[in-house]
Structure 1
Amino acid sequence: MSTAHQRKKQPELVRRQLLEVAARLSRREGAGGVTLDAVSQAAGVSKGGLLHHFPNRMALLDGLFDHLTAKFDAAIAVEMEKDSVVRGRFTRAYVSLVFAQQDEDDAESWQVLTMALLSEPLLRARWRQWVSGQAAAFAETDSSTACQLARLTADGLWLADLIESHDIARQDRQAMQAHLHTLSLQ
């Protein structure tokens, strides 16, 4: 006899598990591997349970976007706490995290999600909204042309890493990051 009806429901735990599985599948198999069937099977959750949280694949990708941007926002906040110089602080945190993407566990998930951003208008709109929100939130400290240039340069590196178009030695990456940090102070 099943005891499923007697178990305590933990919807946030299930949702987080589904997103972690989606991220893992995206790293391993690309965006195409993030199907509802694959995620429900790998998570050990019924398809109905998955559909309760994410009614379609786009909702799942949207949830993955939320999950990753929340982690990114938290990491930015941590980086900003370490920086005592207010001018350009957000930009330096952003640059540091983009440069660290090469070494992070979530880097492959971000790569897959970035590819999805290129092809999914709704995700592109969400990213534009995130960028606009950050620009507004840090307008007083990070709106200089120099800060914008530093962030756009970091975005270029992000894209270069994504498509593996450049082999950049670690010491060169460190020098680039140092230049962008200096730029953010202007």
Structure 2
Amino acid sequence: MPESKPTRRYSVKNVKPSAGSQNASLRILEAARAIAARDGAGKITIDAVARESGLSKGGVLYNFPSKKALLSGLLDQMLTSHRALSETLPHDLPSRILRGQLETMLQMQKADVDLAMAILAAAASDPQLLDPLRAELSDQIDLILSETQDPATAMIVVLALQGLRFQDLLKLPDGGAQVRERVVERLRTMIDELE
């Protein structure tokens, strides 16, 4: 019986890059973000990223062996940015994780929405691509629910935030700017009232 191939993991977290490789990886990810911002996430290709970064195609492929690996790197970068924003919030703030999720969503740029959509599209053919996101959200939900006296309200806020993210990603109707602003303020109040 032939030996089965291990499932390929696309997370760049599993790789211990050298300093030079790490610098190249950051340069490649910045090039991919620049392409997404300027031309749309659908234009991110290995060739386009090589041109934008000034690296050879082989140099890009050395750091990210496929477009899926590149998108996984971008997802890891987005998760890292979310963590960094959450860390800027006061540690004694009630429901700091929920507040971090809300503020991250509000600061999301159009390029980030396009990148998130590209990652979701790639995940349709390779659901494991979203494993780091699932793990992070699962850990956050466990922590949120363990730190509150009102887990039902906390979970309503989590689900509302996820709904708002998908509304942005899929460009679904949002009731207009005034309604959305009131929804955001209501979510802030709900977060602040959680113990």
Q: Same fold (TM over 0.5)?
A: yes
| Residues 93-104 of structure 1 mapped to structure 2, 5 A cutoff | 93-101=100-108, 103=109
Query: Structure 1 residue 157 and structure 2 residue 164: aligned?
Result: yes
> In structure 1, what is the Cα distance between the partners aligned to 2:102 and 2:115?
18
Select 1:106's aligned residue among 106, 112, 128.
112
Query: Structure 1 residue 174 and structure 2 residue 174: aligned?
Result: no
Moved more, 104-113 or 128-137: 104-113
> In structure 1, what is the Cα distance between the partners aligned to 2:20 and 2:130?
31
Q: Give the superposed CA RMSD.
A: 2.5
> In structure 1, what is the Cα distance between the partners aligned to 2:27 and 2:99?
32
Query: Structure 1 residue 140 and structure 2 residue 150: aligned?
Result: no
Provide, for residues 100-139 of structure 1, a one-character-per-residue CA deviation record: whole Å limited to 9, x for no partner. 32x5763433343344445530223232112112223444
| Residues 6-155 of structure 1 mapped to structure 2, 5 A cutoff | 10-78=20-88, 80-81=89-90, 84-86=92-94, 88-101=95-108, 103=109, 106-141=112-147, 144-155=151-162
SS of equivalent to 1:10: helix
Change (3 A) 1:109 1:134: same
Which 5+ residue runs of structure 1 have no aligned equivalent? Answer: 1-8
**Map of 2:9 onto structure 1:** none
> In structure 2, what is the Cα distance between the partners aligned to 1:75 and 1:104?
18
Change (3 A) 1:56 1:104: closer
SS of equivalent to 1:106: helix
The amino acid across from 1:157 in the alignment is L
How far apart are 1:166 and its partner, in Å? 1.1
> In structure 2, what is the Cα distance between the partners aligned to 1:166 and 1:115?
21
**Map of 2:190 onto structure 1:** 183
Change (3 A) 1:108 1:58: closer
Which 5+ residue runs of structure 2 have no aligned equivalent? Answer: 1-18
> In structure 2, what is the Cα distance between the partners aligned to 1:130 and 1:67?
13
How far apart are 1:84 and its partner, in Å? 4.0
Instruction: With the length of structure 1 as denominator, give the TM-score of the two structures.
Output: 0.79
SS of equivalent to 2:147: helix
Instruction: With the length of structure 2 as denominator, give the TM-score of the two structures.
Output: 0.76
Change (3 A) 1:12 1:31: same
Contact 1:25 1:39 in 2 (8 A): yes
Query: Which contiguous aligned blocks of 4+ residues in structure 1 show a shift greater than 6 angstroms?
Result: none
Change (3 A) 1:96 1:118: farther
